[in-house]
Structures are given as structure tokens and as C-alpha cells.
Amino acid sequence: MILELQKNQLAPDFCRIDFRGKLMMGNDSRQVEWAIAELLAAGVKKVVFNLEQMDGIDSTGVGIIVVCHAKMVKAGGNLRVASAHGIVLEVLQMAHVDRLMEFFPNAESAGQSFAAAS
């Protein structure tokens, strides 16, 4: 399945991006980095990657998530991962991505964590 992203801007500085499909090597994966660049340009500093409907990831996908997190932090923002499960969660944990950024059981709790941190 092709990767699909849906951006949901929930506040001027907060956006949830819903992933559907597989985040793997190929042109589709570039859209994640482009989405982060667009959000940063628009002043968004809080982003949740909602992986609830994502069913595959490879090393390229892991790298993209890490790069997006680094870009957010460098710009003074933050990125949270929500609803990772199955093979996606296993791969992210195997690569220790959960040590770089916070993981949450669902998008709602990830979003609430930003409010609690403010």
C-alpha cells in the first residue's frame, strides 16, 4: 500500500499527522519530510505522528522519523509518536527510537502531553 498522510492542524502551533500504509524506501516516504518542513515554515512546533493505521516500516522509514524529530527539536519544537503497534512498534523499539522521543498509546494522550509540558 502506498503511504498516505493526513495533516490535522488542531491549534496554530499543533498538528497531528495520520499515517496510513507503509513508510519505506521510495518517493512516497519523502512526503513526510516535506510535511514537517511545511509545518515548521507555518510556525507549528508540536507534532504528533499517529501511526495507528501504519502497517509497515523499514530502515528508511525509521531514519525519516528520526530526521523529522531532529528538525523539530532544532527549530525549538517537539515530535511525539502515537499508536505504534505490531511490527512498526517492534522495528522502532529495535532501532531505539523510543529512547530519542516519547511514544504514547494513542494520539489523544500524545496531544495532551504537550499541554501538560507547557
Radius of gyration of the chain (CA): 13
Is the pLDDT score of 62 beyond 70?
yes
Of all residues in the chain, the percent with pLDDT exceeding 90 is 91
CA distance 23 to 29: 6
Is the pLDDT score of 116 beyond 90?
no
pLDDT band, very low/low/confident/very high, at 1 (cuts 50, 70, 90) = low
Going from the N-terminus, what domains does the chain have, and what CATH number goes with each? 4-117 (3.30.750.24)
φ, ψ of residue 76 to 5 degrees: the values are 90, 15
CA distance 117 to 109: 12
CA 1 to chain centre: 18
CA distance 103 to 33: 19
Q: Could you report the per-residue pLDDT of 70-87, keeping only the tens digit for each?
A: 999 999 999 999 999 999
Longest alpha-carbon distance in the chain: 38
